[in-house]
Structure 1
Amino acid sequence: MATQRILDFLATRRPNGPCLVVDLDVVRDNFRAFEKALPDSKIYYAVKANPAPEILRLLAAMGSSFDTASVAEVEMAMDAGAPADRISFGNTIKKERDIARAYQLGIRLYAVDCVEEVEKIARAAPGSRVFCRVLTDGEGAEWPLSRKFGCVPAMAVNVLRHAKALGLDAYGVSFHVGSQQTDLSAWDRALGDAKKVFATLAEEGIVLKMVN
């Protein structure tokens, strides 16, 4: 979106090569639009989308939470002013030493998609909350990233059950319907799978609290 401020910047600064110019007012407006559209949700900004300190500082000041994929991204979010309780470690494949470092920094929310990842977190980040990524078919997306990570719903039940047994807080599920998703029913299918995981575990007394 080329705002007048961006056009003025390009006209006066005349960058010598390709560059990305972001108007922070647009970032602010987009965040407020999400808040209005999803009033009962917590918004997590994926640091990998654009880790520019100016963007992270703005969003942290506005109360945004942050999804990170590495210890470096955790530290970027914290340097921008985000407290540890507003940061999740959303990468499902993590080195145990990175889990331990994130735990040392105060991170208590981690993504998983297999029992081995749960076991690493139980050792390196005891008592933390975990959410399990569930596979989706990615149909209708220009970039169907859904099969990059995740597990089928039945396996997600076992993963979260195992987390509970190891003293972790089985907190919820996540899914990714793919980037530039054009089929609105993709969310219906994914939420239906999430509902199955919630319902199955509820029968065992494990009450999930989050859908990402």
Structure 2
Amino acid sequence: MTNHKNTLMDRILNWIASHDDEPPYLLLDREILKEKISLIGRGIKNSKVFYAVKANPDIDVIRYLNSFNVGFEIASEGELAILKQLNVEPERIITSNPVKTFKFLKEAVEYGIEYYAFDSIAEVEKLAKYTPRKKVYVRLTVPNEGSEWPLSKKFGVEMEEAAQLLIYAKQRGLDPIGITFHVGSQCSNVYNWHTAIHKAGQLKELVRKNGIEIKMLNIGGGYPIEYTKKVPSIETIETKINSILEEYFPDTEIFIEPGRAVVGDAGVFVSRIIGKAQRGDENWLYIDVGVFNGLMESIGGIKYQYIVGSRGEEKEWTIAGPSCDSFDVIDREVVLPEPDVGSLILILSAGAYTISYASEFNGFSTPKTFLI
């Protein structure tokens, strides 16, 4: 991992030295993207990969990933519009948002998308009206312990209700072919997948008694990346997943929806230090990208690594963004050598859920993305 990051850093520094673009901006490395998109799914039998566009929807990133003939998971007409621009075939698109807008459903059907997730009677009714005879899959609630960004409360149903929904979907003229779940984003607990697949296996047997054959299992995303602490490797996770699938879903088509695992490590935010101050016993460092224009996940617990080009005295810093809002605090107790105002600060593993969350609050522009 150290050599991997050193090589990436060489490419990042060379790009910065040869360009005069003003920070903040996000750099995405092609070599890392290629490595990740080629690795994910390799260890899982009968698998297809659908990149979760929400992780980083930059059109150049999507265009590059599209060159590997992967699929894409989307949730809105905005994400669909990106894929339309690139002429991505509808057969390579799925939508796993269990509650979709009416406008999106109409456009998705018009474009020819076949796969739709659901987790409520209300959604079945919508799908029956707007997407008759399409393939649908139910969102099952599974444990999210060990995930830094849990996703288990907003969506998903328990097994009995999931079975009833699959049966109802069939009665309403849909084609109930699958089950999906999500163990939570940035999940470092490998056993979450074991529990989830076992539960999905029980659901498969339950609905089989009612004449429904589960042909597809969508295991979502959740593969973690290394921010500031070690996490299980993709190979380790997929070895575990594949062994469980062999037991419960030996001949079933497996969908995977990686987002963070594809783009996270490939991204480095380049920011400039715009101020520093001592307030009480705290040292404050102000930079030109913050919670509102690129680092929203920092308020949810994601901890980034930072690099400054300084040989100054090491101190603990509170790092804050540029806006006038006191909520715009990115991190605390970050140990860094004291940098000069005006110098650069690099934020590592920032390729996922940064620009896609960014707004122009307080008049600060959304940072540009460059694929290098």
- TM-score norm. by structure 1 comes to 0.94
Q: In structure 2, which of residues 63, 66, 72 is the aligned counterpart of residue 60 of structure 1? A: 66
**1:66 partner SS:** strand
Residue 127 in structure 1 maps to residue 133 in structure 2:
yes
2:179 is matched with which residue? Answer: 173
Residue 28 in structure 1 maps to residue 34 in structure 2:
yes
- After TM superposition, the structure 1 stretch with the greater mean CA deviation from structure 2, 78-87 or 164-173, is 78-87
Matches of 1:79 and 1:197, distance apart in 2: 38
Which has the bigger relative contact order, CA under 8 A and spacing at least 6? 2
**Offset at 1:35?**
4.2
Matches of 1:57 and 1:81, distance apart in 2: 10
Q: In structure 2, which of residues 202, 206, 209 is the aligned counterpart of residue 203 of structure 1? A: 209
Residue 8 in structure 1 maps to residue 14 in structure 2:
yes
Pairing 1:1-212 to 2, within 5 Å after superposition: 1=5, 2-212=8-218
**1:148 partner SS:** coil
Matches of 2:77 and 2:182, distance apart in 1: 22
Matches of 1:8 and 1:79, distance apart in 2: 31
Q: Which structure 2 segments of 5+ residues have no match? A: 219-372
CA offsets, 1:5-46, max 9 Å, x none?
222112222542222100122111111111422352000100
Q: Which has the higher strand share?
A: 2
Q: Kindly provide the amino acid, as one letter, of the partner of residue 131 in structure 1.
A: Y
CA offsets, 1:136-172, max 9 Å, x none?
2211111112222111111111111111111111011
Q: Kindly provide the amino acid, as one letter, of the partner of residue 170 in structure 1.
A: P
Q: Kindly provide the amino acid, as one letter, of the partner of residue 157 in structure 1.
A: A
**Offset at 1:58?**
1.9
Q: Kindly provide the amino acid, as one letter, of the partner of residue 101 in structure 2.
A: K
**Offset at 1:101?**
1.8
CA offsets, 1:56-96, max 9 Å, x none?
11222211011001011112123223200110122111123
**Offset at 1:3?**
4.4
- After TM superposition, the structure 1 stretch with the greater mean CA deviation from structure 2, 70-79 or 125-134, is 70-79
Q: Kindly provide the amino acid, as one letter, of the partner of residue 82 in structure 1.
A: V
**Offset at 1:173?**
1.0
- After TM superposition, the structure 1 stretch with the greater mean CA deviation from structure 2, 186-195 or 135-144, is 135-144
Does the Cα contact within 8 Å between 1:133 and 1:149 map onto a contact in 2? yes
Matches of 1:140 and 1:191, distance apart in 2: 16
Q: Which structure 1 segments of 5+ residues have no match? A: none
- Matched pairs, number: 212
Q: Kindly provide the amino acid, as one letter, of the partner of residue 170 in structure 2.
A: K
**2:199 partner SS:** helix
Q: Kindly provide the amino acid, as one letter, of the partner of residue 208 in structure 1.
A: I
Matches of 2:85 and 2:20, distance apart in 1: 31
Matches of 1:192 and 1:39, distance apart in 2: 17
Distance verdict in 2 for CA 1:33–1:3, change over 3 Å: farther
Q: Which has the higher helix share?
A: 1
**Offset at 1:54?**
1.6
Does the Cα contact within 8 Å between 1:138 and 1:147 map onto a contact in 2? no
- TM-score norm. by structure 2 comes to 0.55
2:302 is matched with which residue? Answer: none
- After TM superposition, the structure 1 stretch with the greater mean CA deviation from structure 2, 41-50 or 200-209, is 200-209
Which of 1 and 2 has greater Rg? 2
CA offsets, 1:79-123, max 9 Å, x none?
223200110122111123321221011111111011110110110
Matches of 1:15 and 1:146, distance apart in 2: 41
